[in-house]
Amino acid sequence: MTVLRIALAVAVATYLLIALFMFLQQRSLQYHPSNKGLTPSGLGLEGVSEEIIETQDGERIAAWYLPPGRGQPTILFFHGNGGEIGDRADRLDFYREQGFGALFVSYRGYGGSSGTISEQGFITDALSAYDWLASRNVGPEQIVLVGESLGTGVAVQLAAQRKVAAVALEAPYTSVADVAAAIYWWLPVRLLLKDNFHSRDHIARVTAPVLIQHGDADGIIPVDHGRRLFAMANEPKELVIIPGVGHDAIQNPQVWAREIAFFRKFLVLQ
């Protein structure tokens, strides 16, 4: 019995140490920022300026801004958990070719932005970016949101708090906690997680048209998340399930083109 008690105590202690490690290191596992010093001019992006947005809590957020063509909307874009906005230069160039404007936001702790990574911080960054556009006379009817992967949670929360013309979500989740709980089923993830991004708790307050696109072979955020979030969203809404495609759907120009078509369907362009 003594040996069994010792073995049980060791097992429990090991489990608790692992749980403690995961709790302390969770943001390094969840977020993968980079700062390569990339610039729009260095990437050949014509007409794109580097901007610094002062946030409501005193941070300085780097952003790349592309003014829209006449009568065209501006895409407020929120990237995923890896890299930085410079890694999405091809996407920004695609929007430019369509005549759309764009504001690509580098979250705090990413790229050249100051601050410490957190969910609430990201939402503050999003609200500040929206207000920055408003200060340049870009009205709600001219702002459309695009979120990829992690950024879908940011886009949903912003759209729940501010009026926008439309929202496009690429490989969204019901909640980061839901995704993590399925992966780390042996840990009390919902108790340990600091940044939950509960999109399922906010999507019902989004009144703008919503487009959701998701690859049915996505091994990072399973397609069922997209389906469930779509079921919770208000009309008008569209769901596109892409057969045989994984999480790299967010890098597919065909996905971006569907978003452009969706926006044009619901916007009255001058």
DSSP characters over 153-178: HHHHHHHHHS--SEEEEES--S-HHH
Residue 82 and residue 32 in contact, taking contact as beta carbons nearer than 8 Å: yes
Q: Are residues 14 and 65 in the same domain?
A: no
Where do runs of H (alpha helix) occur along 109-149? 119-135
Round to whole Å and give the CA distance between 72 and 239: 24
Domain count, the chain: 2
Residues 157-212 pLDDT 10s: 999 999 999 999 999 999 999 999 998 888 888 888 999 999 999 999 999 999 99
Domain with 8 in it:
1-30
* φ and ψ of 83, to 5 deg: 75, -140
Task: State the CATH number of the domain containing residue 225.
Answer: 3.40.50.1820
Round to whole Å and give the CA distance between 137 and 101: 13
Q: Are residues 98 and 208 in the same domain?
A: yes
Say if residue 219's pLDDT is above 70: yes
Residues 39-78 pLDDT 10s: 999 999 999 999 999 999 999 999 999 999 999 999 999 9
| Average pLDDT of the residues in 98-104 | 97
What predicted TM-score, i.e. pTM, was given to this entire model? 0.93
Round to whole Å and give the CA distance between 85 and 104: 6
pLDDT of residue 68: 96
